[in-house]
Amino acid sequence: MRITGRKKESLIADKLHAEFKELSKQKKVDYDDYFIVNIGPSVIPEYTPSVRVFTYNITGADSDGTSLIVDANDELLDSEELNASKIDCRKKENKNKKKCVFKKPRHASKRSPSRRNTLWSPTGYAQFYVPESSWANKTHPPQYELEYVTYSLSTLRNVNVTLIPQHLLPPELREGFVETLTKSKYAPFGLRDLTIPSWIKFARKLGQRKKLWKRFRDFMFLEA
């Protein structure tokens, strides 16, 4: 993201870092208490044009079998919410009406794609951006460059999976070079996937490791 003003940038970063530090001190974490929101960067040319490309686990997507994450309670809950939609539960006078107070609370499933790497789980993303030197150059169209990926180097080395087309990668991450890399500025995080447990583990690391936090902060506030 791009924040105008160092003071605002620092306030946001400090608050977020404090939360990560607090999380790293917790001995146990209840994943039911968390959900992940990914906010993509701006594509507006006024700022630093960026785009984030996600990959997903599609193993079994062609199967005709019923999804394992379906719960009988889901249909009951959806039915209640469908009936509730006939009146506006946001209005104060409707707040305590029967149709606005669901009998069954929204539940969390340990088998959902957000909790474990299964069908439709997000497995990672690559973020591309147009550097100022490119979009300010009037002799050729702006060119996107890879800023970073969430994947580990071992995942990028997997010959059975093509996550990012070779021509979009910097030379050091291309086939023939990535095999010998032990670390890369383009892959500093090494997330196994983008499930809630993986994000929580990563947040704990950010609260403990100063260099990792600095790298994360640099990516979070890409300057135009």
Contacts 24+ apart (CB under 8 A), 159-167: 163/55, 163/124, 163/126, 164/53, 164/126
- 50 and 130 both lie in a single domain: yes
pTM of the model: 0.78
Per DSSP, which regions of 121-166 are E strands? 122-129, 145-149
- 119 and 108 both lie in a single domain: no
- pLDDT, averaged across the chain: 84
At 223, is the pLDDT very low, low, confident or very high (cuts 50, 70, 90)?
low
Per-residue pLDDT at 83: 53
Measure the CA–CA gap between 135 and 142, rounded to whole angstroms.
5
162-178 pLDDT, tens per residue? 899 999 999 999 999 99
78-93 pLDDT, tens per residue? 454 445 456 787 787 8
**pLDDT surpasses 90 at 112:** yes
Residue 145 within any structural domain of the chain: yes
Structural domain count of the chain: 2
- 117 and 14 both lie in a single domain: yes
